[in-house]
Amino acid sequence: MPGEPAVAAPSDAVVRVRGLHYGFGSRKIFDGVDLEAARGRVTAVMGPSGTGKTTLLRLITGQVAPATGSVEVFGQEVTTLDTAGVYALRKRMGMLFQNGALLTDLSVVDKLSNQVRAHARLPERVLRQLVLTKLHAVGLRGAAELMPGELSGGMARRVALARAIVMDPDLLIYDEPFVGLDPVSMGVIVRLIRELNDALGITSIVVSHDVRELASIAHHSYLLSGGKVVAHGTPAELDASPLPIVRQFMSGQSDGPVPFHYPAADYHADLLGGGTERPRS
């Protein structure tokens, strides 16, 4: 959004990542990442496949620890928390998984009810009212008694969203929420992300590579590539960026700074039988 600061003021940041380094074995995933998610805003994290977007969410939620760097959520350093501390922190979070991650042996209403029962003791009547309210918010009150096998992909995603908000979290994290959805379902999810964010006053982090959908709902976007934040700003600012990698990503070009070909030996040498050695990227 034009006119807004590119990075949130320190007191406004619900999530603050500083100097993040992380890798698997010798492979570097993050090489000094800094980003922030401002309170009450939708922050988008974009990037080509394999740049570690989902890994970033795993670091924010305390599932894995960084090699070096700081991950601060609600003002607490996640890396220094013990298991109980991480669980206490997670009680303030909700997360929508790429595949929904719904328990397969429970009806829709039971899934949400179980989530509440795990944290609070409520009379059954109140619990049902609460669950129906959340299902109504995602447009699925009428599907309360359905089993997972009876839900379409889009409905399953919305049930997962209802489950994520059932405990009224302060931070809602979306991992590739648009993957595999038809245009109508995608439109519904896009609308719900922004509406829930604004109506409930929560902070949202959306990881995706669906540029257009993110542009319509995000207040601030980060573009990750090669283990670093290569650009960040409002969707309009990213759209106007002259950086080649930003241009390639925003316009969906198949070749550019992110090459079409995986690094390989010389094509002719390879075809003639001499190039089977592993290339240096």
Which residues form the interface with other proteins (CB under 8 A)?
61, 63, 87-88, 90-91, 93-95, 97-99, 101-104, 114-115, 118-119, 163-164, 167, 173
Considering beta carbons, is residue 42 or 165 the nearer one to other proteins?
165
DSSP the chain: -TTS-SS--GGGEEEEEEEEEEEETTEEEEEEEEEEEETTSEEEEE--TTSSHHHHHHHHTTSS--SEEEEEETTEEGGG--HHHHHHHHTTEEEE-TT----TTS-HHHHHHHHHHTT----HHHHHHHHHHHHHHTT-GGGTT--GGG--HHHHHHHHHHHHHTT--SEEEEESTTTT--HHHHHHHHHHHHHHHHHHT-EEEEE-S-HHHHHHH-SEEEEEETTEEEEEE-HHHHHT---HHHHHHHHT-SSSSS-SSPS-S-HHHHHTT---SPPP-
Quote the least distance from Cβ 203 to other proteins, whole Å. Answer: 16
Considering beta carbons, is residue 115 or 204 the nearer one to other proteins?
115
Considering beta carbons, is residue 98 or 248 the nearer one to other proteins?
98
Quote the least distance from Cβ 201 to other proteins, whole Å. Answer: 20
Quote the least distance from Cβ 172 to other proteins, whole Å. Answer: 11
Quote the least distance from Cβ 217 to other proteins, whole Å. Answer: 22
Considering beta carbons, is residue 163 or 232 the nearer one to other proteins?
163
Quote the least distance from Cβ 52 to other proteins, whole Å. Answer: 17
Considering beta carbons, is residue 28 or 90 the nearer one to other proteins?
90
Quote the least distance from Cβ 146 to other proteins, whole Å. Answer: 18
Considering beta carbons, is residue 24 or 267 the nearer one to other proteins?
24
